[in-house]
Amino acid sequence: MNDKLALPVGTTLDRFIMRKQEDFPFATGELSQLLRDIALAAKIVNREINRAGLIDVTGAYGQQNVQGEEQQKLDVIANIRFIRALRNGGEVCAIISEEEDEIIQTGNLKGKYIVAIDPLDGSSNIDVNVSIGTIFSIYRRVSVAGTEGTMEDCMQRGTAQIAAGYVVYGSSTMLVYTTGHGVNGFTYEPSLGEFFLSHPNMRTPETGTIYSCNEGGYNSFPEGIKNYLSYCKENGYSGRYIGSLVSDFHRNLIKGGVYIYPSTAKAPNGKLRLLYECNALAFIAEQAGGKASTGKSRIMEVEPTELHQRSPLIIGSSEMVNKVEEFIKAEVEKKEAVVAN
């Protein structure tokens, strides 16, 4: 028999998840089902994105979300799709979404998990056919099963995450996730309707030559960040900024680089959301050998105080994040010395 006539297509996401269930003796299959629910919603959102220009779902929806940002039609569609999949899956008792003001109760009172999600990151790029994504974070509930999810369930540090991931909808659609045992990436094969393992055990380089930052806000950046950007230019680094957090992070994860969204005069607490953007990507970065910081401390150790809390974010190759922190610390020490004198 000539096996070359029918080469294996690879490991599907479902099969991979089933094989890894033994990593979670406490979960007895629920976490696996939850990850499959997210993958299903991602497939549906991928379909909607791919035909967006044909069925009039691009453009603004005409409302603002809790962040004060204008919602795009696909923001609303993605939000509905993920909430519906998580509610129907039965494993999630409550959801935190970028598109909703309050905790979303699913009605699954026995559900053991909380999901924090940005259903469609980078939605301002939808109309111009630039890569966008989904970011999700999963926690075990701390309240008693049989009741609705509580604020205590949702206000957990990033260190309490049991899984996190993202989907990038680009030239190919990829789902990347971690359960605390390394990072694995799966590429969607649309003709079969399956995600296949394409990037096993992903590791990010310790350093790189790419920096990703919206330099349009340069004048309002802290001096330490300005000094680091000057350092990048003096050393011939490449500036690469897509404007979709998932896309910028994904590129740097693979190639090596640092993503910087600092505090600014306009956003002194930063702009990115802690619970469903920063923590999720920080978990992935650390599991891949990288680092994630506020500029002064580890992202995943920040204590949440509100659902839509914002944070500065410096994330990527560990040596590059360390260098940014050095520049920030040097500027702080310089100011302290001036005050002391």
Residue 118 marked in a binding site: yes
Please say whether the beta carbons of 325 and 315 come within 8 A: no
Strands 310-311, 272-273: pairing is: antiparallel
Smallest CA-to-CA distance from 157 within 278, 330, 338 is with 278
Residue 121 marked in a binding site: yes
DSSP track, 48-80 = HHHTGGGTT--SEEEEE-TTSPEEEHHHHHHHH
Residue 120 marked in a binding site: yes
Tokens of 130: 């630039």
Residue 271 marked in a binding site: yes
What distance separates the 2 farthest-apart alpha carbons in the chain?
84
Residue 334 marked in a binding site: no
What's the chain's Rg over C-alpha atoms? Answer: 20
Residue 46 marked in a binding site: no
Tokens of 131: 């890569």
Residue 241 marked in a binding site: yes
CA distance 273 to 312: 9
Please say whether the beta carbons of 241 and 212 come within 8 A: yes
Query: How far out from the chain centre does Cα 28 lie?
Result: 26
- Residue 74, exposed/middle/buried by CB under 10 A (0-12, 13-18, 19+)? buried
Residue 333 marked in a binding site: no
Please say whether the beta carbons of 239 and 232 come within 8 A: yes
Tokens of 290: 């990288």
CA distance 133 to 5: 36
Residue 124 marked in a binding site: yes
Please state, in angstroms and as integers, the Cα–Cα distance from residue 52 to each residue in 71, 121, 123, 267, 319, following that order.
15, 16, 12, 32, 40
Helix axes 318-340, 223-234, angle to 10 degrees: 130
Q: Which parts are annotated binding residues for Mg(2+)?
A: 98, 118, 120-121, 277
**Residues placed in the known binding site:** 98, 118, 120-124, 214, 241, 271, 277
Query: Could you tell me which residues are annotated as the binding site for substrate?
Result: 121-124, 214, 241, 271
